[in-house]
Structure 1
């Protein structure tokens, strides 16, 4: 677990870089990331992909105005099986950012640079204010080393 609130904290995600045009995070596959058959659960990649894209989407949306992003589609392809101890780096970059939606591309690579999973996350831009306490937690998450 990390100091980051929510599911990212439970999964042990560390934020390495966070900006409107690129977000990079890292996590190490542990026993808690495995499905019952002893291999990493694909849902871990999906969850990290969505939160990583959402981080970039929120930063961009709030630099250009105000609002909240929510995931509307998450498509992840699993290309290589990881193992306990593998360090996975996830990089999110925008494909499209518009008035009502965003589309982000994600690559997950292991410590040797091998592509483990690749995906796309579509976000809806909602015209509503983020509660101040949520923004404070988000800002703290964004500043994690």
Structure 2
């Protein structure tokens, strides 16, 4: 577990870079990431891809106004099997950022730089305020970056 609130914290994700044009996160494959057959569950990659893109999309949206982003589509391809102990680095970069939606490219690589999974996450930009308590948790989790 990490200090990040929500599912990312439960998955042990730590953010090592967070800005409007790129977010980089990292986690180590452990027993909590495995499916019943002893290999990493694909849902872990999908979840971390969506949250990494969402963090990036939220940071960018705050630079152009205000609002909140929500995932509307997540397409993740699994390319190489990782193993317990592997350190996965997840990088989200923008493909398109518009008035009502964003599209982000996300790569997951292992400690040797090999592509393990890649995907795209589409986000909707909603014109609403982020609840103060959520914003406070978000700010606390990312203030070190």
TM range (shorter): over 0.9
Question: CA deviation digits over 1:20-77, x for unaligned, max 9?
Answer: 0000000000001000010000000000000000000000001110000000000000
CA shift for structure 1 position 143: 2.6
- Measure, in 2, the Cα distance between the counterparts of 1:111 and 1:69: 30
- Measure, in 1, the Cα distance between the counterparts of 2:53 and 2:143: 16
8 Å Cα contact 1:14-1:144 kept in structure 2 = no
8 Å Cα contact 1:15-1:144 kept in structure 2 = no
CA shift for structure 1 position 144: 4.5
Aligned residue in 2 for 1:105: 105
Aligned pairs for 1:1-145 within 5 A: 1-144=1-144
- Measure, in 2, the Cα distance between the counterparts of 1:65 and 1:89: 29
List alignment gaps of at least 5 residues for structure 1. Answer: none
- Measure, in 2, the Cα distance between the counterparts of 1:105 and 1:115: 13
CA shift for structure 1 position 142: 1.9
Using the size of structure 1 for normalisation, the TM-score is 0.98
Query: What is the Cα-based RMSD across aligned positions, in Å?
Result: 0.8
Using the size of structure 2 for normalisation, the TM-score is 0.98
Aligned residues: 145
- Measure, in 1, the Cα distance between the counterparts of 2:45 and 2:10: 13
Structure 1 range deviating more: 3-12 or 133-142: 133-142
- Measure, in 2, the Cα distance between the counterparts of 1:123 and 1:144: 25
8 Å Cα contact 1:4-1:144 kept in structure 2 = no
